[in-house]
Amino acid sequence: MFLQTHFTFCPKCGGRKILPLRENGIQCPDCGYVYFHNCASAVSALIETPQGIVLIQRQLAPKRGYFDLPGGFVDYGESLEEALAREVREELNVEIANLRYLGSFPNVYTFKKVTYFTTDAFFTCSAVSLHTMKPKEEVSRIIIRKPRRIDLKRIAFDSTQNAIRKYRAAGKKAR
């Protein structure tokens, strides 16, 4: 069994003899199929407001009930910036502007027994308007906090905790 995906059969031919290939792959000796479980890209926004940065409370697993930054996985054919704008729109009903790259951090995201290794890119930005902001399907509530007042133990993912630490250390506005 391939531990990250729990594959027990070859995804191509259904063969039962899948073998490990390096640390992130499998190969099937029956049909020759090779699969690499490569890193996925994700994005998150530190939306700056005069009151602080926007945080969401997660409505869904993983880490339901924990706080996070708006964002998500990058779809095929999308740039990081396009994915970020789409995710913020989907989660908060907000358009963003003035994107500035903050940094990236590795993360581990386990969902329905599949472990995804991600590289999460973080951007600071502003909202075109907060008047349209409302929690959408994946979000149970929205809060705005000064970065120094965010309890990192309540933040869902290590990568997001690291991004907030970097943001604090950089002395960004909205303190």
pLDDT in tens, the chain (175 residues): 677 888 889 999 999 999 999 988 999 999 999 999 999 999 999 999 999 999 999 999 999 999 999 999 999 999 999 999 999 999 999 999 999 999 999 999 988 888 899 999 999 999 999 999 999 999 999 999 999 999 999 999 999 999 999 999 998 544 4
* Cα–Cα dist 59/139, whole Å: 5
How many C-beta atoms lie closer than 10 Å to residue 43's C-beta? 28
CA angle 109, 111, 114 (to 5 degrees): 90
Q: Is residue 174 part of a domain?
A: no
Q: What is the pLDDT of residue 23?
A: 86
Residue 162 is part of which domain span?
40-169
Q: Give me the number of domains the chain comprises.
A: 2
In this structure, are 20 and 51 located in the same domain?
no
In this structure, are 17 and 69 located in the same domain?
no
In this structure, are 29 and 51 located in the same domain?
no
In this structure, are 12 and 80 located in the same domain?
no
Helix (H, G, I), strand (E, B) or coil at 11: coil
Q: Is residue 70 part of a domain?
A: yes
